[in-house]
Amino acid sequence: MAGTRPRVAIAHDYLTQRGGAEKVVLAMARAFPEAPIYTTLYDAAATYPEFGDLDIRVSPLNRVGLLRSNHRVALPFLPHASSMTEIDADVVLTSSSGWAHGFSTTGKKLVYCYSPARWLYQTDVYLGESSGMVKRLLMSALTPALRRWDRRAAHSADRYLAISTAVRERITTTYGIDSTVVPAPFTVDDSAGVEAVPEAAEWLAGSDYYLCVSRLLPYKNVDKVMKAFEGTGRTLVVVGRGPEKDALEAMRLDNVLMLSDLSEGQMSWLYQNTSGLVAASYEDYGLTPLEAGHHGKPSIVLRWGGFLDTISENVTGIFFDEPEPQAISAAIDRCESRSWDSARIVGHVQQFGEDRFAERLADTIDDLLGSESSTRVGALPT
């Protein structure tokens, strides 16, 4: 490879939603702008619009509209689709929480792992207490074969990176693989400007509010956050979509507003005007406190997982120990009793910037490929 820049490709499970993992993929694409992105499913309308300008290469499953609109229905077919996805590249930067680490490649495979698959190794947490018997029986039937496939896929990698300390420990426990922690970047696009959310502006009418930004899944505990605002006189704005949406809408209080599919400018407006972010989810990392911190806002979060890596207690946020309404409400009380230094909050989150993330990835890929290569854009002629 001497004298040429190595060919880098990016792989991701599926691009059918808007969330932290998809933001990380966009950061990877900015770090390696010539890299195509391989994925099993791609729904342009459901994920971030920036993907529309990138080279997205999909599996044959993408021809089935039902699977694009609901990737969970595709679960029985994803192992085969992942194994049959072949990538011709010198190194594949694999963004994975369960499937993309099974893609085949002619070169090296570097896995950036958000977590070993939750639906295989943390099934009860992933499904939640309200999941039906049919779903549980289906998962029980599929789990043995899926675990065998998953472990083979994990050991096909040349190197593993973990998004957090908690995930690094989980990778060791699940696969017996050592990994290096590379924190994900926060990716607030300040160039998008600030755009008021008309529905929220009218509903809030200038009053203070807290913000919960999350996929609507059982283990995110958005229902517990909503219940923490019951009878308090406080106001909550929830931003996100997911399979729990209807259940959450059914229990929604008058002081809770639910939104989804907002632009970067609209998210900036919400972050800039909020009193703080609230998150009760079992997060392997959790980008939203960093996004809130970018705007100088504190976070009230569960003392668990990735939050322990990114929150500086009493500097950028407050912890609570159980994802229960009473504990969340008490933590908000403590947050309101403190004075917060916005400049210190902003200073803390700068260490999680995108430039540092890109540098760590490039260093790892260069080390993986050997001293004769360099992934630095412009470092060697193409």
- Whether residues 236 and 148 share a domain: the answer is no
Domain of 87, CATH number, reads 3.40.50
- Whether residues 176 and 195 share a domain: the answer is no
- Whether residues 346 and 358 share a domain: the answer is no
Residue 135 lies in a domain: yes
Residue type, 6: P
* Other Cβ atoms within 10 Å of 273 Cβ, number: 20
For the stretch 198-235, what's the b/e string if a residue is b when 16 or more beta carbons lie within 10 angstroms of its beta carbon?
eebeeebeeeebbbbbbbbbbbbbbbbbbbbbeeeebb
- Whether residues 172 and 311 share a domain: the answer is no
- Whether residues 257 and 124 share a domain: the answer is no
In tens digits, what is the pLDDT along the chain, a chain of 382 residues?
Answer: 445 789 999 999 999 998 889 999 999 999 999 999 999 999 999 999 999 999 999 999 999 988 888 887 888 888 999 999 999 999 999 999 889 999 999 999 999 999 998 878 876 655 555 556 666 677 677 788 899 999 999 999 999 999 999 999 999 999 999 999 999 998 777 777 899 999 999 999 989 999 999 999 988 999 999 999 999 999 999 999 998 999 999 999 999 999 999 998 999 999 999 999 999 998 888 789 999 999 999 999 999 999 999 999 999 999 999 999 999 999 999 999 999 999 999 999 999 999 999 999 999 999 999 855 555 543 333 3
Token pair, residue 139, equals: 């998962």
**How many domains, the chain?**
2
- Whether residues 164 and 202 share a domain: the answer is no
- Whether residues 31 and 164 share a domain: the answer is yes
- Whether residues 244 and 215 share a domain: the answer is yes
- Residue 141: which residues within 8 A CB-CB, separation 6 or more? none
- Whether residues 327 and 213 share a domain: the answer is yes
Residue 107 lies in a domain: yes
Q: Is the pTM of this model over 0.75?
A: yes
Number of helices (H), then strands (E), belonging to the chain: the values are: 16, 15
pLDDT of residue 74: 84
Domain of 294, CATH number, reads 3.40.50.2000
Instruction: Kindly give the interhelix angle for 20-31 and 354-369, rounded to the nearest 10 degrees.
Output: 60
Residue 378 lies in a domain: no
> Please, are residues 11 and 100 in contact by the beta-carbon 8 Å criterion?
yes
**132: domain range?**
8-185+353-369
- Whether residues 238 and 202 share a domain: the answer is yes
> Please, are residues 129 and 109 in contact by the beta-carbon 8 Å criterion?
no
DSSP 316-373: TEEEESSSSHHHHHHHHHHHHTS---HHHHHHHHGGG-HHHHHHHHHHHHHHHH-TT-
Residue 26 lies in a domain: yes
- Residue 36: which residues within 8 A CB-CB, separation 6 or more? 9, 10, 55, 56, 57
Token pair, residue 7, equals: 């060919």
Residue 181, helix vs strand vs coil: strand
- Whether residues 100 and 203 share a domain: the answer is no
What are the backbone dihedrals phi and psi of residue 74, each rounded to the nearest 5 degrees, phi first? -80, -5
Q: Report which of 41, 47, 45 is spatially closest to residue 64, judged by C-alpha positions.
A: 41
pLDDT of residue 373: 56
